[in-house]
Amino acid sequence: MLCSVLVFLSLSILSTKSQDIGVLILARGGSKGIPLKNLQTVGGISLLCRAIITARRSDLKQVVVSTDHPLIALEAVTCGATPFKRSKVTATDWAPSIWGVQEYLWSNSEINTLVLIQATSPLTKPSQLRLALNKLNIPKPVDCVFSVARSYSLRWRYENGNVFPLNFHVFNRPRRQDWKGELIETGAFYVSRRTILEKGLFQNNNCSVVEMSVVESLEVDSYSDLLIANALI
């Protein structure tokens, strides 16, 4: 009895909460490197469509694609998302993505949590997005959750003709089995509360992370990345 009341309560909390979650993909037309990069295909499906499908499979049904380009808007609709007209100023090369996010938030005042998905990370899994949303509240509420991959790279800094280790001691090189490594932001997704986005931040010091494998965190920036992504999918 108590159990079913609890289930009912948590379900109703979840259902009211989920209405306040916005899912956004920023997809400019004027991408550097590969022109119209988001429309490039991996495994026969465009990067943009893949990101939309991944979001929808993680039960995030209302996916919005903010774009300044008609072909990208068309692809968004084809793949079940809603296009949002991105203004010219937030779609320039130098405009930070937080501007694109804020522009969208200003016209959607009901949203209090935003999931920003990067279409250039085609190996993101729906379960990882679900986990990210979960981690926003469990085990304790945080302001932000983002994707990371673990790295065991030993990093060095070059200065004045010498090299210095950055994350280890030369006399005590870490062994992989007793070093937890470092977390590298993959850029695949960011879940942030509106409160911090309005301050211009995706993250603060009250964040949690979702770990993905190094392979899953592949980011498509160049034609060779496209080749790798096609080989992996």
Ligand X SMILES: *[C@@H]1O[C@H](CO)[C@@H](O)[C@H](O)[C@H]1NC(C)=O
Residue of 57, 155, 157, 173 with catalytic role: 173
Q: Which stretch binds ligand X (CB under 6 A): 45-53, 77-85, 121-129, 137-145?
A: 137-145
**Both structure tokens of 171:** 């006399």
Residue closer to ligand X (CB basis): 69 or 193: 193
130 noted as active-site residue: no
| Minimum gap (Å) between residue 112 Cβ and ligand X | 10
| Minimum gap (Å) between residue 16 Cβ and ligand X | 17
Q: Check residue 20 for interaction with ligand X (CB under 6 A).
A: no
For residue 40, what are the CA distances in angstroms to 56, 73, 155? 20, 14, 33
| Minimum gap (Å) between residue 1 Cβ and ligand X | 31
**225 DSSP assignment:** H
Instruction: Please state the separation of Cα 220 from the chain's center in Å.
Output: 13
Q: Which stretch binds ligand X (CB under 6 A): 41-49, 104-112, 135-143, 168-176?
A: 135-143
Residue closer to ligand X (CB basis): 37 or 193: 193
* Residue of 114, 142, 210, 218 that binds ligand X (CB under 6 A): 142
Whole-angstrom Cα distance, residue 142 to residue 191? 10
Q: Which stretch binds ligand X (CB under 6 A): 42-50, 63-71, 141-149, 158-166?
A: 141-149
**Both structure tokens of 35:** 């022109």
Whole-angstrom Cα distance, residue 195 to residue 169? 40
Q: Check residue 143 for interaction with ligand X (CB under 6 A).
A: yes
* DSSP count for the chain of H helices, then E strands: 7, 11
Q: Check residue 111 for interaction with ligand X (CB under 6 A).
A: no
Q: Under rule CB under 6 A, which residues in 191-210 are in contact with ligand X?
A: 193, 206
Whole-angstrom Cα distance, residue 75 to residue 84? 12
Give DSSP secondary structure letters for 129-172: HHHHHHHTTSSS--SEEEEEEEE-PPPEEEETTEEEESSSBTTB
| Minimum gap (Å) between residue 195 Cβ and ligand X | 7
Q: Check residue 141 for interaction with ligand X (CB under 6 A).
A: yes
Answer whether the bond into residue 139 is a cis peptide, omega within 30°. Answer: yes
Residues within the interface to ligand X (CB under 6 A) = 141-143, 193, 206
Q: Give me the active site residues, please.
A: 173
